[in-house]
Structure 1
Amino acid sequence: MRKVLFGACALAALAIGVSAQAETVAVTNARILTAGPAGEIASGAVVFKDGKITAVGANVAAPAGARVIDAHGGVVAPGFFATGSLLGAVEVGSLGNDLSVNNPAIGASFDIQYGLNPESGLLPVARLGGLTSAVVLPLPVGGRGGEDYDQEDDDASKYTAGPGGEGSKSHALFAGTGAVIDLSGHETILTKAKVAMVVPFGRAGAGVAGGARGAEIVALKEALADVRAYMKNKAAYERAGYRDLALSRGDLEALVPVVEGRMPIVAVVRRASDIRQVLAFAREEHVKVILEGAEEGWMVAGEIAKAGAPVLLNPLNDRPESYEELAATMDNAGRLAAAGVTVALESTGGSARVRETRYGAGNAVSHGMSYAAALASVTINPARIFGVADRTGSLEPGKDADLVIWTGDPFEPLSQPTAVFIHGEAQPMTSRQIELRDRYRDLGRPLPPGYTHP
């Protein structure tokens, strides 16, 4: 009987479709995980209209004329974030991606927003895992911790960063800027562009700088000094009356917000000693920093918290796959959160398995992270870190109606979403994979012509 009720709930949600933008919708009889100041509401309702939440609470009644969806005691939660994902910029990794570049004139100025594909077949798959937003970040030399590419430092040997001149590739110090997107599949999925500048540190950064970690710090300081010089002498630079700078004009312009403290860098770093160097570098250069990977972050949790640096991490990374990760542990997320660090959990299976983000959150809870912290790590925390918390990440009046109705606890693998809303619009509860399964489930049906004619 319960399955029938939830099936009806899903059908009702689909019937709303685009019309949800123009009518009032009330999801009632739900356990609500707001990820906001209201915390958890044991039984209540969420009301939204024109794509925005208008009311959330235990004593909220469906307005007159509203379309009512009875959750039948299920859970309503904010849509989850796929943080550090490849969504919208890759289909099959072995066939290439739109998240990396090797061009001497384009490093920091690389902007992934221009290559986003709203028709990607991976977006519907991610939505079926309760995801409604994604933070898409460029791939630096050496790869990142939250994705499924192996770009170890054979690639780094192609690059050298120096003071300028023939052969200098200082652009490789910077992978470019990321963006926040929604997973609606609309023609425009961009929520916010230029949210952070990705920079590889540790072994990968050392490879870019010529082989030594210390060389990268020097090269980065030189690059930022060039940016400051460029800012003060733009007129002379434009008339070719200024000294040579290692970076292209596009890269210099792209780094101005970093130097001014308006754009953070995402420092891809793993080892505890490297984390300390990154924090010191950020402090000395007066730049904002977000740590990504940070497999040994728990060892310096107090220092990270004191610096106010958020951390993006894969909660399942616990194997010492390199000398940078000897102390990796699945307790990492819980220990960092307990120390007061703002943690955002990355997708645990790369672009094709980003729907498993909720499983990673559940594993983090089983290894010491509080449930509230785990919920925040896939909702409001990434929204805050990347500057979209005024729009999404929690269920609060005035925010976008990005929410999911679940059959039970969303971190429990047996729970399933029965309806997904993005900007108040019900999303199709299917994907190409499901449609192919259904098409070929009955082999007695006539096959397409390609299967029967040579």
Structure 2
Amino acid sequence: MKKLYIKNGLIKTMAGQEFMGYILIEGAKIAALGKTIDLNLPEDAEVIDAGGALVLPGFIDAHCHVGIGEEIYRWEGEDFNEMTDPVTPDMRAIDGINPEDEGFRDARLGGVTTVFTVPGSANVIGGTGVVMKTAGKIVDKMIVRDPAGMKIAFGENPKMVYGEQKKMPMTRMGTAALLRQTLVDAQTYKDKLEQGETDPDKLPERDLGLEVLVKVLNREIPLRAHAHRADDIMTAIRIAREFNVDLVIEHCTEGHKIAEELAEQGYPAVVGPLLTNRSKVELKDKSFQTPGILAKAGVKVAIMTDHSVTPIEQLPLCAALACKAGMDEEDALRAITINAAEILGVSDRIGTLEVGKDADIVIWSEHPFTIKANPLYVIINGKIVKPEAI
């Protein structure tokens, strides 16, 4: 088993500890870490001397389209929106991801070691997303969690796509109605599956879309709701409460307007992209202040790039600009580490530096929120993936 030993690092675990010390990696996991340098070091361990540099968990982009929306292509690599039907819960992001997408390399160069890659927002129900590492040649081996959430979308995007086709939804009412009806269909399907456990004659014909929506109803995976405007956010919450399902608010552009309500409801928010222009009317009140306002109100917040809307390597810059706009620095770091991991349901593996967790570690030349910061080393699953050739 390969061993890697990081010494003389300023280790910030994101689990409440910060100290000068070491990390011992065995295989893909963190085997030990601590303040002392008197570790009985295995003779076969590769040694990295951090030289006092800051050592952090790998960053996590909690919403992007890396691998499924390849930015150097036009339509050839655009595999994130199946714009032929507004209800496509049977779509799976894993089937459209290309590990050769340059976005994965860019992620590593920016210290991003894990991403949530998800279908786009053209459809009312777009399909399931995956949590995956940003290094690897075979997507199945990069996966951390699949499925990790069901993409749904409110607001202008479904209206625009299907309104032009003279199909439902042409209005926000139509979007909500389609979502509700599909969840009712999934409830009926679930009931028949349960009846079929004792009476095989009552088993329904297999339906892949309803099958995965049963996972939503069983709260095995959350709805991931694309919602910019405050009213769309509240519609998403209204429907989630009606069906007693888990929910994550994606984008949450106007979340600062209803921060106390969101905190009271208890749903987390993945905010962004913020480092972009106001490309549509729903972004009128886009602000880097939003993540900080939400965090101060008690909302669990992650920050996203929505790559390739904002290049994924700029995730730490997005968090830094949120700090500039008033977000607490610790909250901003949590928004791209442990908060993101908890929202994605993978905090048992990533998000902090702790014994037994995946060895996803970044050694920084300076604090990552400074403009000159650069990852000196990026380690994913115990393997050094940066430095690397560009």
User: Are 1:231 and 2:190 counterparts?
Assistant: yes
User: Are 1:112 and 2:93 counterparts?
Assistant: yes
TM-score when scaled to structure 1?
Answer: 0.76
Mark the CA change 1:36 to 1:327 in structure 2 (over 3 Å): closer, same or farther. same
On the 8 A contact 1:135/1:180 being kept in 2, the answer is yes
* Paired letter, 2:323: V
1:311: Cα distance to partner? Answer: 0.9
* Residue in structure 2 matched with residue 263 of structure 1 by the alignment: 221
On the 8 A contact 2:65/2:306 being kept in 1, the answer is no
On the 8 A contact 2:66/2:307 being kept in 1, the answer is no
On the 8 A contact 1:348/1:356 being kept in 2, the answer is no
Mark the CA change 1:37 to 1:241 in structure 2 (over 3 Å): closer, same or farther. closer
User: Are 1:192 and 2:145 counterparts?
Assistant: yes
Residue deviations 1:356-403 (CA, integer Å, cap 9, x gap): 111111111111111111111111112111111111111011101100
User: Are 1:176 and 2:176 counterparts?
Assistant: no
Percent identity of paired positions between Structure 1 and Structure 2: 30
* Residue in structure 2 matched with residue 159 of structure 1 by the alignment: none
User: Are 1:49 and 2:26 counterparts?
Assistant: yes
* Residue in structure 1 matched with residue 157 of structure 2 by the alignment: 204
Q: d(CA) in 1 for partners of 2:130 and 2:307?
A: 20
Greater C-alpha radius of gyration = 1
Higher mean alpha-carbon deviation, 182-191 vs 389-398, is at: 182-191
* Paired letter, 2:105: P
* Residue in structure 1 matched with residue 56 of structure 2 by the alignment: 77
State the secondary structure of the residue aligned to 1:96: coil
1:90: Cα distance to partner? Answer: 3.1
* Residue in structure 2 matched with residue 144 of structure 1 by the alignment: none
Higher mean alpha-carbon deviation, 346-355 vs 359-368, is at: 346-355
Q: d(CA) in 1 for partners of 2:69 and 2:285?
A: 31
Mark the CA change 1:329 to 1:294 in structure 2 (over 3 Å): closer, same or farther. same
State the secondary structure of the residue aligned to 2:148: coil
1:427: Cα distance to partner? Answer: 1.1
State the secondary structure of the residue aligned to 2:23: strand
User: Are 1:384 and 2:384 counterparts?
Assistant: no
On the 8 A contact 2:64/2:307 being kept in 1, the answer is no
* Residue in structure 1 matched with residue 165 of structure 2 by the alignment: none
1:132: Cα distance to partner? Answer: 0.9
Mark the CA change 1:32 to 1:348 in structure 2 (over 3 Å): closer, same or farther. farther
User: Are 1:395 and 2:333 counterparts?
Assistant: no
For residue 218 of structure 1, the aligned residue among 160, 173, 177 is 177
Q: d(CA) in 2 for partners of 1:315 and 1:120?
A: 20
1:428: Cα distance to partner? Answer: 4.3
* Paired letter, 1:199: I
Q: d(CA) in 2 for partners of 1:403 and 1:292?
A: 26
Q: d(CA) in 2 for partners of 1:407 and 1:281?
A: 46
1:140: Cα distance to partner? Answer: 2.1
Figure out how many residues of one structure are paired with residues of the other and give that number. 375
* Residue in structure 2 matched with residue 96 of structure 1 by the alignment: 77
TM-score when scaled to structure 2?
Answer: 0.88
Equivalence map 1:2-401=2 (5 Å): 22-38=1-17, 40-41=18-19, 43-59=20-36, 61-65=38-42, 66-91=45-70, 92-94=72-74, 95-104=76-85, 107-141=88-122, 172-187=123-138, 188-206=141-159, 208=162, 209-234=168-193, 249-314=207-272, 316=274, 321-347=279-305, 350=308, 353-401=311-359
* Paired letter, 2:21: G
Mark the CA change 1:338 to 1:293 in structure 2 (over 3 Å): closer, same or farther. same
Q: d(CA) in 1 for partners of 2:254 and 2:80?
A: 26
On the 8 A contact 2:111/2:362 being kept in 1, the answer is yes
* Paired letter, 2:312: V
Mark the CA change 1:105 to 1:292 in structure 2 (over 3 Å): closer, same or farther. closer
* Paired letter, 1:366: K
Residue deviations 1:150-177 (CA, integer Å, cap 9, x gap): xxxxxxxxxxxxxxxxxxxxxx421000
**RMSD, aligned CA:** 2.6
1:81: Cα distance to partner? Answer: 1.3
* Residue in structure 1 matched with residue 373 of structure 2 by the alignment: 415
Mark the CA change 1:405 to 1:413 in structure 2 (over 3 Å): closer, same or farther. same
User: Are 1:426 and 2:377 counterparts?
Assistant: no
* Paired letter, 2:183: L
Q: d(CA) in 2 for partners of 1:54 and 1:221?
A: 47
Higher mean alpha-carbon deviation, 417-426 vs 184-193, is at: 184-193
State the secondary structure of the residue aligned to 1:256: helix
Structure 1: where are the runs of 5+ without partners?
Answer: 1-21, 142-171, 435-454
* Paired letter, 1:90: G
On the 8 A contact 1:178/1:194 being kept in 2, the answer is yes
Structure 2: where are the runs of 5+ without partners?
Answer: 163-167
Q: d(CA) in 1 for partners of 2:312 and 2:289?
A: 21
Runs of 4+ in 1 over 3 A off after TM superposition: 102-106, 205-209, 238-242, 317-323
* Residue in structure 2 matched with residue 12 of structure 1 by the alignment: none
On the 8 A contact 1:179/1:191 being kept in 2, the answer is yes
Q: d(CA) in 2 for partners of 1:120 and 1:376?
A: 27
Q: d(CA) in 2 for partners of 1:269 and 1:301?
A: 14
Structure having the higher strand fraction is: 2
Mark the CA change 1:200 to 1:93 in structure 2 (over 3 Å): closer, same or farther. farther
State the secondary structure of the residue aligned to 1:230: helix
